[in-house]
């Protein structure tokens, strides 16, 4: 089963019609399961509000949400040992680690270069 973790940057690019957005949208369709941190909703809605872009209320219904039920201390340590990321970017990668014991079985989708590099170092496909 093709599974991917989606970072906010992918959905922002699609919603704002940024260069490369059609390729991102096409890539998302290749996966049977798409997961995201619950932080994605706040980041996406804040960005679209700032840009005065309406968000379709159903746009997020196709995502499976990661809701950690404990601190992700160990995952965050692993992320930061693989490379420095800002807090929110580190959180998304930590949530991806939390959802999968085998990072190589999951694709981490992000348009952020440093975040993709750290995800790759941790074993995720990017």
* Residue ranges of domains in the chain, CATH in brackets: 3-121 (3.40.50.1010)
- In order, the DSSP letters of 60-118 are TTTPEEE--SS--HHHHHHHHHH----HHHHHHHHHHHHH-S-GGGEEEE-S-HHHHHH
Q: Rounded distance, CA 125 to CA 47, Å?
A: 27
> Residue 27 pLDDT more than 90?
yes
**Tens-place pLDDT, residues 66-123:** 999 999 999 999 999 999 999 999 999 999 999 998 999 999 999 999 999 999 999 9
The enclosing H or E element of 3 equals strand 3-6
Q: Rounded distance, CA 75 to CA 119, Å?
A: 12
**pLDDT at 59 (0 to 100):** 81
Structure tokens at 114: 């440093």
Average pLDDT in the chain: 96
């Amino acid at each position: 089963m093709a599974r991917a973790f989606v970072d906010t940057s992918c959905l922002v690019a699609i919603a704002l019609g940024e260069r490369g957005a059609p390729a991102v949208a096409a890539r998302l369709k290749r996966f049977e399961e798409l997961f995201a941190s619950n932080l994605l909703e706040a980041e996406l809605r804040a960005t679209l509000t700032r840009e005065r872009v309406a968000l379709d209320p159903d746009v997020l219904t196709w995502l499976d949400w990661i809701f950690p039920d404990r601190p992700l201390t160990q995952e965050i340590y692993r992320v930061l040992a693989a490379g420095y990321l800002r807090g929110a970017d580190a959180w998304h990668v930590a949530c991806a680690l939390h959802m999968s014991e085998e990072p190589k079985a999951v694709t981490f989708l992000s348009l952020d270069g440093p975040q993709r590099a750290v995800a790759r170092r941790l074993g995720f496909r990017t």
